[in-house]
Structure 1
Amino acid sequence: METGFIKQTVEALFSKMLARAQFEKISDLTDDGLLTLDFSTEEPHLLVGTEGKTILALNHIVRKIFEKECEKREWKKMSFLVDINGYQKKRIQELKNRAQVMAERARFFKSSVECAPMNPYERMIVHSFFTNIADIQTESVGVGKDRRVVIKYVEQLGISL
């Protein structure tokens, strides 16, 4: 099964990194069906890294290995996330909370608000978060490490706030 392959790949990478982590469970993280493979460890600093850079790199590597395996075995591609001690879940929730505050600011001032620079995954989370909110639109601007999301208030006809 695909999730078994992902779990084995992650465990093999942990072993090569000389990091000990215990597989906990597979769960749905978001409404759009993103699967999360939860691991726990007593040494999260090794696997999460500064500002989550190690866990982002780990997810990227595992995703690339999985994509190659999907081509070989004709598996259906799926979205997943490797999480260590709940770091990713907390990070996503913090990101959504900050985006919500920025959206409230955009509504209050009836203008656009620029967020801090984000990596592609974080930008995708913010864009997805506002998908079904009629009076808010998002757009990515900038290049490279300075790429960020702009949250825009869009006045709705016939609706007064």
Structure 2
Amino acid sequence: MASEREKLVSDVVEREGGEGGPAGPSDEVTDPQALRALGFVQMLIEKMEMDAEVTLAPDDGEGSADEIRLEIEGPDAGRIIGKRGSVLEAIQYLTTRVAHKPGEPRKHIAVDAEGYRARHEDQLAEMAKKLARRVAKEGKVITFDPMTARDRRVVHMALKDITGVRTESHGEGPDRRVQIIPVKN
């Protein structure tokens, strides 16, 4: 009988197009956190009776070496995203809790479905830049609605090099929000 690790490795979708494709059976996945994360998300999708596949995404050079990226694709991927990414965020949280074990170095785990996170982050960054131009022009503070830590980071990073404005986070817990503040020259 195959071990759990061998089963997980064999369940990973075959590499598409050589280097840079998703990890496949010929790509020995040995990271215990990646295996636990992949196995958990696969199990969750099966239990939810959704038509979708999960793959371990390759390192595209944009993330850090301490990141595990899982991609979910298929006809039911929209249901996995949920309203404003809420289901996807919950899956990522649970996956992180399952994958991390005491004594192991913690890796950031990112779960995406059909490229939702990338699209969402691009749109958020563009909106933040547009609002930053308005703040710089009008000199009035703009405060975003409460955001997740990930979204707040996207705003801060998008505006860090914009002249005439600075950003700050205010509030506690789920009410934490970002402000774009004009900088006096």
Q: Which interval holds the TM-score relative to the shorter structure?
A: 0.7 to 0.9
Of the three residues 78, 101, 125, the one matched with 1:96 is 125
1:5 Cα deviation (Å)? 2.5
What is the distance in 1 between the residues matched to 2:112 and 2:60? 10
What's the counterpart of residue 9 of structure 1? Answer: 40
Identity of aligned residues (%): 23
Radius of gyration: which is bigger? 2
Q: List gaps (5 residues or longer) in structure 2.
A: 1-30
Change in CA separation of 1:66 and 1:128 when aligned onto 2, cut-off 3 Å: farther
Q: For the aligned residues, what is the CA RMSD? A: 2.4
Task: State the one-letter code of the partner of 1:15.
Answer: E
Q: List gaps (5 residues or longer) in structure 1.
A: 157-161
Normalised TM-score (structure 1) = 0.79
> What per-residue deviation string (whole Å, max 9, x for no partner) do you get for residues 123-156 of structure 1?
1222233345464321122455543210112234
What's the counterpart of residue 38 of structure 1? Answer: 71
Higher mean Cα deviation, 98-107 or 23-32? 23-32
> What per-residue deviation string (whole Å, max 9, x for no partner) do you get for residues 57-76 of structure 1?
11111112123x2x1xx322
1:116 Cα deviation (Å)? 2.6
For the residue of structure 2 that corresponds to 1:76, the secondary structure is coil
What is the distance in 1 between the residues matched to 2:168 and 2:153? 10
What is the distance in 1 between the residues matched to 2:163 and 2:63? 19
Of the three residues 85, 90, 98, the one matched with 1:65 is 98
The total of aligned residue pairs comes to: 152
- Maintained 8 Å contact 2:38/2:56: no
